[in-house]
Structure 1
Amino acid sequence: MYSLRYKSNKLLYKMRLYEVRRGDYGRCMSLSLKIASASFAVSIVVLLIKYAAYLLTGSVALYSDALESVINVVTAAVAIVAIRIAALPPDKEHPYGHHKAEYLSAVVVGAMIVAAALAIMHEAYLAYLAPKALDAPLLGLAVSSIATAFNAAWSAVLVRQGRKHRSAALVADGKHLLADVVTSLGVVVGVVLVVLTGIHVLDAAIAALVALHVLWSGWEVIRDSASSLMDEAVPADEFATIRAVIAQNTGAALEAHDVRTRHAGKVTFIEFHLVVPSSMTVEAAHDICDRLEAALKKAVAGAVVNIHVEPEYKAKHAGASVASAVS
Structure 2
Amino acid sequence: MQPKKKAILISLCVSIILMLAKFVAYFLTNSNAVLTDAAESIVNVIASAFAFYSIYLTTLPKDENHPYGHGKVEFFSAFVEGILIGVAGIVIVFKSSYDLFYPSAIKQLYDGAIIIGSTGLVNLIIGFYLINTGKRNNSITLEADGKHLLTDSISSAGLVVGIVLIQLTGIYWLDGVISIALGLYIIFNGYKLTRRSVGGLMDESNIGLVKDIVSILQANRQESWIDVHNLRAQQYGADLHIDCHVTLPYYFDLNAVHQEISNIDKLINVSSSHQTELFIHADPCLPACCNYCKMSNCGVRQEEFKGEIGWNMENVTKNQKHFSQ
TM-score by length of 1: 0.85
**Structure 1 residue 217 displacement after superposition:** 0.8
1:147 aligns to what? 119
8 Å CA contact 2:210, 2:232 repeated in 1: no
Give 1:154 deviation, angstroms: 0.9
Amino acid in the other structure paired with 2:136 = K
2:202 is equivalent to residue 202 of structure 1: no
Structure 2 contact 223–293 (Cα < 8 Å) conserved: no
- TM superposition shift of 1:260: 2.0
Distance 1:107 1:37, change over 3 A: same
Correspondences of 1:25-36 after superposition (within 5 Å): 30-36=2-8
Q: CA deviation at 1:133?
A: 3.0
CA deviation after TM superposition for structure 1 residue 257, in Å: 2.0
Write out aligned runs for 1:181-192 (5 A): 181-192=153-164
Q: Determine if contact 1:110/1:222 at 8 Å carries over to the other structure.
A: yes
* CA–CA distance in structure 2, aligned partners of residues 290 and 103 of structure 1: 30
**Counterparts of 1:244 and 1:192 in 2: how far apart (Å)?**
52
Q: Secondary structure at the match of 2:157?
A: helix
Task: Quote how far apart the aligned CAs of 1:283 are.
Answer: 0.9
Which residue is equivalent to 2:203?
231
Please report the TM-score for the alignment, with normalisation by the length of structure 2: 0.86
Matched, 1:76 2:48: yes
Give the equivalent residue in structure 1 for 2:235: 263
Q: CA deviation at 1:184?
A: 1.0
Q: 1:116 aligns with which of 76, 82, 88?
A: 88
Structure 2 residue runs without a partner (length 5+): 295-307, 317-325
Could you say which residue in structure 2 is the equivalent of 1:16? none
Q: Kindly indicate whether the alpha-carbon contact (under 8 Å) linking 1:162 and 1:169 is maintained by their aligned counterparts in 2.
A: yes
Residues 75 and 141, structure 2, Cα contact 8 Å, conserved in 1 = yes
Summarize the alignment of residues 1-327 of structure 1 with structure 2, pairs less than 5 Å apart. Answer: 30-236=2-208, 238-247=209-218, 248-250=220-222, 252-300=224-272, 301-313=274-286, 317-321=289-293, 324=309, 326=311, 327=316
- Relative to structure 1, the CA distance from residue 291 to residue 207 in structure 2 (aligned partners, 3 Å threshold; closer, same or farther) is same
Q: Give ranges in structure 1 of 5+ residues lacking alignment.
A: 1-26
SS where residue 69 of structure 2 aligns? coil
Q: Structure 1 CA distance, aligned partners of 2:173 and 2:310?
A: 67
Alpha-carbon distance in structure 2 between the residues aligned to 1:234 and 1:97: 19
User: Shift in Å at residue 234 of structure 1?
Assistant: 3.8
- Looking at structure 1, the residues matched to 119 and 225 of structure 2 have their Cα atoms a distance apart, in angstroms, of 60
Residue type at the aligned position of 2:153: V
Cα RMSD for the two superposed structures: 1.9
* Equivalent residue letter for 1:222: T
Following TM superposition, the consecutive aligned residue runs of length 4 or more in structure 1 with deviations greater than 6 angstroms are none
Amino acid paired to 2:107: D
Identify if the C-alpha distance between structure 1 residues 302 and 201 changes in structure 2 by more than 3 Å, giving closer, same or farther. same
Which one-letter code corresponds to 1:239 in the other structure?
V
